[in-house]
Chain A
Amino acid sequence: MPEKNEPNLITINLYGKRYRVPDNMTMLKALEYCGYAPTRGIGCRHGFCGACAMVYRIKGERQLHYCLGCETRVQDMMYISTISYFPLEKQAYKLDELEPNADMIMHLYPEIYSCVSCNTCTATCTQGLDVMGYIHDAQKGDFKACAEKSFDCIMCNCCASRCPAGISHPEVAMLARRLNGKYIAPEAKHLTERVAEVKKGDILEDVRTLMAKSDDEIRELYNNREIEK
């Protein structure tokens, strides 16, 4: 058996209480290690859902850090709190009735025009996105650009928690992406045609014929099916 690396113990401060934890853990695991059994501020555990936003400072350093607890390793003298919820403003709209232009966004999310270009959102983003950039795109009604810049947003809300203008960045970006997907990206004509074919029904006949065959016959077809290059 090779010699295993035993983890070193380090000190963290969680919600104002000190703990000693192995240094090879994520912040989320360290929380569990300390005996918490979180039922909120936790979701996918692998960096996709934004549920586990955390904020920390390293003792003695001036900078404040925002991160995902499920994928950030603990460090010595990390002072940690979790942001399992942050209040945002989300407008209800009917996508079908929206026109993808600046007037519309001015009406739904007027606060984006109060942006003071401090760039704090960008500096805070756990995914390294150009958050200020996508808010400025939204201001101009350029939803395509906003959608592209914000695509990787996992809606952890860290940016919104720091914005002096009270902007709900991830909600603005969500709207932009939906507008882009529905109105701006070009139509997939072959999809429209296929849907029509299915409605007409002939194409379904083939499936029914196939289904009616015995498993042996289907196996034969399956094993000899041609694979598209």
Chain B
Amino acid sequence: MYPEYLQLSLEKVAEKREANTALQPERMTAEEKDVLLKGFHPDYRTDQYTELRAGANKGDKVNTELAETLMGRARIHAGDVNLDHIDYDVDVLIIGAGGAGCAAAIEADNAGANVLMATKLRLGDANTMMAEGGIQGATKPTDSPAQHFLDAYGGGHYLGKKELVYKLVTEAPECFQWLNDMGVEFDKEEDGTLIAIHGGGTSRKRMHAAKDYTGAEIMRTLRDETRCRRIPCLNYAACIELLRDESGNIGGAVLINTNTKELKVVRAKTTIITTGGSGRLHIQGFPTSNHHGATADGLVLAYRVGAPLLFADTMQYHPTGAAYPEQILGALVTEKVRGLGAKLVNADGDVFMHPLETRDVAAAAVIRECSERGKGIDIPGGGQAVWLDTPMIEKIHGEGTIVSKIPGMFKMFNKYGIDMRKEPILIYPTLHYQNGGIEINEKCEVANTKNLFASGEVVGGIHGRNRLMGNSLLDVIVFGRESGRQAAARAKEVDHVGRLNLDHVAEFEQELSDAWVDTGVVSPKLFPNYKANFRTYLDTSFSSDKADEQ
């Protein structure tokens, strides 16, 4: 149910629907896109960026929220915890138990390593669980790894590290088989042929799915496998700092029990960071599609021990995040909605772009409509949005299409009394994916460090400056597995981990104070703090006038 004040705009949208459905909006020219992106894409908002003044990327600019986190103060310092008291002594420590973490755990276990996973929420509570759309892989005779390379490398604006892209596309088929053999239920035809469709930027139909639960299906299967193997996983155990030994090699980490705040010391021959993305930093104030724990922790952990980041300045904003009702603010409205023919229209009911422009272009166009052009719609609670005219879908494909093709979307809005078959929905870009991250090589070794590995959304370089949908779930599997294999192999070569220390924390903080930096932030952040937002919104929440009767 939309508030009264939106009725006028809704009427305009309805009036023009017939004509808008038939309309064939022009695609933008390369020049138009360029101007649009530079003017309105958040990646180009230099006023929102801050220079890093310490660490391996000193001198580079990243989003201010990320810069403050990267240059934050540590949660612990030498002396806060007895590092000679080892609580867990393992071959391979895996930080984070999402898709990449579980894939790594399984492969390290295959290699005979003694593995420990530690994760902030529960095993499997992760962005991987939320991926709806699909996973790419050149499995079809009409497709090839070379074609996949072309799409991924080109889509990333020719900036991906070629050897990483090579690994991504050439190992994809085997990874599909690996998943299938573990029981992942990919969508198939009767004869077993995998069903694949196009995704943004693909030249072949290469997007494979498990209904609209692709990530969940992969995640729950990997999780089940780690449980079947009894690979130990510490839940509610957030890593707050890596540890080095006397020779400067990474030798484990300090974990905090998020419930009791108790600290634990892990000594590990090798360590893998798989902590995922950073949507919950709410870069530039954007809402996010990410899970509660996506706070860039892994970037902080690695950066503080001297690891460089690659393309950490670029984020993916999904053009269609839910903007209303507030309950689902930031939730993903899948690309499929536009794929089925729904167009974006402004407050006057006018179509302002082709519905299938790429994510970055579409996001910028929505932002321009809501800012410079003043054609956005005010949403209750503050902020702006545009309409995504979903009733067009059934005008084009007939009644029933919405419920049969995008049931999840229908359910999500219907819960709040919005029938997207009859009324349009309100959308605004949402912070979706971290394009860059920790720099690794094809063995997943983290640059500038020893015995430290990383995989998944936390790394940078595979997707250049722009990830194509479906390539991240794939990278999570390909590089997750590789990091597990490599870390296990290296662990065999390490016969001794020296005395552990937190010297890097002191070194980093010295660098910060030499540069006169004090961001006032403590990091890794672990969780977003929404309590604070609400307090400014309304001051008193609980009533003193009545007793707490049962």
Contacts and interface: CB of A to CB of B under 8 A. Distances in A.
Contacts of B328: 46, 71
A61 interface: no
Interface string B182-202: 111110101111100010000
Interface string B128-169: 011000000011111111110111011000100010001001
B211 interface: yes
B130 A44 contact: yes
B415 interface: yes
B425 interface: no
A40 B258 contact: yes
Interface string A18-37: 11111011100100111111
B325 to A, nearest CB: 7
Nearest to A221: B150
B213 A18 contact: no
Given A185-B185, A211-B149, A225-B150, A43 B326 contact: no
A198 B174 contact: yes
Interface residues of B, number: 100
B538 interface: yes
B183 A151 contact: no
Contact of B170 (A37, A191, A198): A198
The majority secondary structure among interface residues of chain B is loop
B142 A206 contact: no
Contact of A225 (B140, B203, B289, B291): B203
Contact of B121 (A43, A95, A227): A43
A92 B170 contact: no
Contact of B183 (A18, A44, A179, A227): A179
Interface stretch (B15-23, B267-275, B474-482, B542-550): B542-550
Interface string A27-66: 0010011111101101111111101000000000000000
A92 B223 CA distance: 12
Contact of B188 (A92, A186, A193, A223): A186
Interface stretch (B304-312, B350-358, B526-534): B526-534
A103 interface: no
B388 interface: no
Nearest to B8: A2
A174 interface: yes
Contact of B190 (A48, A151, A186, A219): A186
A189 B270 CA distance: 38
Interface stretch (B228-236, B366-374, B506-514): B228-236
Contacts of A219: 154, 158
A18 B542 contact: yes
B380 interface: yes
A175 B224 CA distance: 9
B204 interface: yes
Interface string A181-193: 1100111111111
B193 A188 contact: yes
B381 interface: yes
A170 to B, nearest CB: 9
B158 A218 contact: yes
A210 to B, nearest CB: 5
Interface in A189-219: 189-195, 198, 203-204, 206-211, 215, 218-219
Contacts of A112: none
A206 B144 contact: yes
Given A4-B380, A20-B543, A209-B146, 12 more contacts: A5-B4, A25-B326, A25-B327, A29-B327, A33-B534, A40-B259, A46-B289, A51-B122, A92-B228, A188-B194, A194-B138, A225-B150
24 contacts: A2-B6, A13-B548, A17-B548, A18-B548, A22-B538, A43-B129, A43-B293, A46-B130, A48-B213, A49-B216, A51-B121, A71-B327, A90-B227, A154-B216, A182-B181, A186-B190, A188-B193, A198-B145, A198-B170, A198-B174, A203-B145, A222-B151, A223-B154, A228-B198
Interface of B: 3-6, 121-122, 124-126, 129-130, 138-147, 149-151, 153-154, 158, 162, 166, 169-171, 173-174, 176-177, 180-186, 188, 190-194, 198, 203-205, 211, 213, 215-217, 220-221, 224-225, 227-230, 236, 258-259, 289, 291-293, 325-328, 331-332, 378, 380-381, 412, 415-416, 527, 529-531, 534, 538, 540-543, 546-550
